[in-house]
Structure 1
Amino acid sequence: MSTYTRQIGLIAICFGWYLASATSPKPSATRILSDASVATRWADLTIQVVTKAPQNTPTYCSRALGYLGLTMYETVVYSSATHQSVIRSVVDTLALPKPNLSKDYCWELALNAGQAFMLKSMYAYTRRAPLIDSLAGVIHEQYAASLPPDVVARSEQFGQAVAARIYAWSVSDGGHQGCDRNFPTTYNRPTGTGLWVPPIIGQSNTKIPMHPDWGNNRTFSRRNSLLPLPKPLTYSTDSSSAYYRQYKEVYTCHNTLTESERSMVMWWGDDPTQTCTPPGHSYNLATIAIRNGKADLVKATETYARVGMAVADAFVCCWKTKFHYMVERPSSFIQANLHLNQLTGKWLPFFLEPPFPSFYSGHAVQSAATAAVLTALYGKSFSFTDDTHANRPPTDYYVLRSLTENPYYPTYNQRFVTYEARHYTSFWEAAKECAYSRLLGGIHTRHDNEVGLAEGTKIGHNINAFRWKR
């Protein structure tokens, strides 16, 4: 047994008395938790850790955010007169520690302790513990200085106990330490007409797809695990077929991309080798909603819990579908059936192709799941500015310049995409733009995106259906 496992077991044993002696939970009426800054500061640090994490993938990130968000909510929910724990909506066999509300707690310190424990547990391999401990220490000093020592200790012990119990439960979901097996060498890729093949040039050099078994993982919502698989278009090289026309649309869009469209593609690209990944982007949208909507602490933690679990389930459901059908990316169909001018070489999408099958779009499904939960919390007409990549340096790309000088040696011009904050009038406007950007980027058909948006809506609604209110 590892030292870390023994530590978790010790925490669980030490808090056995806690469960036995706790009074029936009642909302704490000591004060209103109007300041959400403790939650948003932890979310900001989470994005920072995720962005710099080696072996970063959207699948592993989505899972981590699901548990981080749930932990955040469960460490403060007993302060609320209107909200309740959702752990029984998630799993009816898991009992979390409950506070003894005949005593005083500082819920900000409970959240602080829980997030520090969970973030270090999920990203221990990144060696970011000193950074995590630093934030935890700053927040501890901020609140502990004006509180009795017993309140500080009780609050932090409760937050850590909740986190330890949730982390121990997470180990059994199928994705534990998934960052260590991004590309399993034992996977045998099926072959055949219309099936996915590794990209010629892509985001990864491996010829093994990323996390082919991720669709077998446990979801947070049992309803999401029971969603039927949507169907892809039927393969056809007939120019009148829906399949052919959809892939041709990708080819046509690629040939007419404007600078504005390239900027859109790159904004939503969320390349895991350089950014916080699509789930991290969604988590940052949650932070923007919290700050713009002036949410109190309980609503802020509910926001992170809903978004985190929604994007986690979105990737499980999406990967289940991807590896059931193994639908090819546009690049292979276009190269074989549409890109007939071999002088310009292989056809490549504008955005680097990710190492997994096409149907359906992961960007679209997780964006729709996020839009569904954020709309339920903040309304249909919620204007905001997305600044997720506002400080990112420009990205270069190349466009064909000429074939006239020597048709066998085409020349190219170097250009740059810049990252400027983008404004939206609703979460759904952002989600639909994200989905559309994948078609413009050359890595998804319109059908991939439309199905992803539809499935993400269902997934988000199932997270909303948890019993959040008393």
Structure 2
Amino acid sequence: MKHLKFGIYSFLIMAILASCSKPAESIQVSPELFHKSVDKVMEIQIHDIFSPPVASRIFVYPNIAAYEILAQKSSKFKSLVGTVNELTAIPKVDSTQQVNLELSALIAHMEVSKSLIFSEEKMEVLQDSLYNVWEQANKVEFDASKAYAFDVVNHIKQYMSTDNYNQTRTMAKFTVDTDDPTRWQPTPPSYMDGIEPHWNKIRPFLLDSAQQFKPEPHPEFSLDKDSKFYEELMEVYNVSQNVTEEGDESEPVQIARFWDCNPFVSVTRGHFMFATKKISPGAHWIGITKIASRKTNSNVEETVNAYTKTSLAIADAFISCWDEKYRSNLIRPETVINQHIDPDWLPILQTPPFPEYSSGHSVVSGAASVVLTEIFGDNFYFEDDTEIPFGLPIRSFKSFYDASTEAALSRLYGGIHYRAAIDNGLKQGKNLGHFAADKLNL
């Protein structure tokens, strides 16, 4: 009996020791955590009021960091080194360490994002909440994955520092030519300076140069009633008049407001002026990327791939578009109509603070729609709920191209772009998108 009791005790002790020495399970990283990180970046961008071009830069670098980490062991997606301009190989993962690459990718995404925003503490709230859970779940794996993520983060930060962004912060403001009636002038109500006049000096990601997809020239400025420019000017005026008569619930007004995406909207109340915060055009298409990834039940690799390649096209679209904006430096419809047709006329949307040609929404939407179509397929029906936080209803689209066409046309309904800026801008964006898709082997 004594021997039996001793055997039972020995068995129990060995079982306890075995359970204590059992390795902790690997930390699971879901696609939803990447969506959560992207959503947090979007929320902070709105709070910090980044311009549309700068917002595109904030999205693309964190995605590159996450993508490059995952590409090391991916059988489906290859590194962007040799494809993205001047990008060099990230540090290799040490196979002797217990590194979870999906975890490292998510940590790198959050950390690079934090370095590009103003309100760092808002990102830290998300980081801390996740870090506490991961540390409790598997401290060894978390520590190793975090250490590796920071090695990659430092590498990407070094790469970021050479894109000329810091240099453009010290360059001169845009000079308005008040003597030339064809040139852009600041618009009401805040009469802001032209934003990011030197954005064409930012290093492109996939393009050979900012001028690579320069659009055809816009119609020459003319107040001759038989001219193409005057025809387009009156189209803006007449469309807005019809839209106003139909009321706020009309389809054109709903379309204009759904795609407004202007982070610089100013509201005047008596002697006070304040901003209403919205997402940027690029952020709207990042939101559509999230919708498509969720609809297709994309895994972590596929989700990061979609975010990365769409954000690359969007970032280059802004560089391409802004290059044309400050080259053509065309006056906005609001200014011409107020000066020569109707001094009391106001567009449905507030005119954003930069030159007219070409339309940023059109270029960005064209580029994003091509890349998303290559990733998820044509005739991809989706319901766009991106604008719900801003009090706007869901809109449905038969395809990404369908959405890009509506986004471009929204600028005419909104009264802030001529037809040429919309049509040629959409063509400019799609040409860029096809180039990006080919270069990325989509």
- What TM-score range do you get, normalising by the shorter chain? 0.7 to 0.9
| 2-structure distance, mates of 1:381, 1:173 | 36
* Partner residue of 1:48 out of 37, 43, 49: 43
Moved more, 456-465 or 45-54: 456-465
Tell me the distance in 2 between the aligned counterparts of 1:234 and 1:241: 8
Structure 2 residues without counterparts, runs of 5 or longer: 1-25, 265-276
2-side partners of 1:467 and 1:309: how far apart?
Answer: 10
Indicate yes or no: 2:382 matched with 1:384.
yes
Q: Give the partner amino acid of 2:361.
A: H
Matching residue's letter, 2:186: P
Matches within 5 A, 1:249-288: 249-257=235-243, 258=246, 259-273=250-264, 274-288=277-291
**Which structure ranks higher in relative contact order (CA pairs < 8 Å, sequence separation ≥ 6)?**
1
Q: Residue type of the partner of 1:234?
A: E
Greater C-alpha radius of gyration: 2
What amino acid sits opposite 1:252 in the alignment? N
- The aligned counterpart of 1:215 is 200
Residue aligning to 1:61? 55
Contact preservation (8 Å) 1:288, 1:384:
yes
Contact 2:107 2:146 in 1 (8 A): yes
**SS of residue matched to 2:393:** coil
Whole-Å Cα distance in 2 between the matches of residues 349 and 467 of structure 1?
39
Q: Quick one: structure 1 residues 94 and 375, their matched pair in 2 at CA, closer, same or farther if it must change by over 3 Å?
A: same
Unaligned runs of 5+ in 1: 1-30, 340-344, 394-418
Aligned to 1:139: 130
| Pairwise CA distance, 1:78 | 2.0
- Looking at structure 2, the residues matched to 373 and 105 of structure 1 have their Cα atoms a distance apart, in angstroms, of 31
SS at match of 1:188: coil
1:242 Cα shift? Answer: 1.5
Instruction: Please give the alpha-carbon distance, in whole angstroms, between the structure 2 residues aligned to 1:298 and 1:365.
Output: 27
Greater shift in the superposed pair: 154-163 or 285-294:
154-163
Map 1:71-220 to 2 at 5 A.
71-92=65-86, 94-101=88-95, 104-123=98-117, 125-126=118-119, 128-129=120-121, 131-147=122-138, 149=140, 151-176=141-166, 186-191=173-178, 192-199=180-187, 201-202=188-189, 204-206=190-192, 208-220=193-205
Q: Shift of residue 430 of structure 1?
A: 0.9
Equivalence for 1:348: 346
State the SS of the aligned residue for 2:165: coil
TM-score when normalising by structure 1: 0.79
| 1-structure distance, mates of 2:337, 2:233 | 7
2:9 aligns with none
**Taking every aligned residue pair, what percent have the same amino acid on both sides?**
25
State the alpha-carbon separation in 1 of the partners of residues 311 and 213 from structure 2: 22
2:23 maps to: none
What amino acid is the match of 1:452? G
Given that 1:84 and 1:467 are in contact with CA atoms closer than 8 Å, whether structure 2 keeps it comes out as no
Write the distance in 1 (CA, Å) between the matches of 2:219 and 2:416: 16
**Residue 225 of structure 1 aligns to a residue in which SS?**
coil
Q: Distance between the aligned counterparts of 1:261 and 1:302, measured in 2?
A: 34
In structure 1, what is the Cα distance between the partners aligned to 2:440 and 2:162?
24
Contact 1:112 1:136 in 2 (8 A): no
Q: Cα RMSD between the aligned structures? A: 2.5
| Counterpart Cα distance in 2 of 1:297 and 1:93 | 23
What residue identity is the alignment partner of 1:78?
A: Q
Opposite residue 91 of structure 1, the aligned amino acid is: N
CA-CA distance at 1:43 after TM superposition? 1.0
Measured against aligned partners, the alpha-carbon deviations of 1:280-328 in whole angstroms (never above 9, x if no partner) come to 1111111111111111111111111112111111111111101111111
Distance 1:34 1:294, change over 3 A: farther
What count of residue pairs does the alignment treat as equivalent?
399
One-letter code aligned to 1:114: A
Residue deviations 1:92-121 (CA, integer Å, cap 9, x gap)? 462321223465431232022202211110
Find the counterpart in structure 1 of residue 396 from structure 2. Answer: 423
Q: Deviations over 1:322-350 (max 9, x none)?
A: 111111111222234433xxxxx432211
The 5 A counterparts of 1:256-335 are 256-257=242-243, 258=246, 259-273=250-264, 274-335=277-338
Q: Which amino acid aligns with 1:307?
A: T
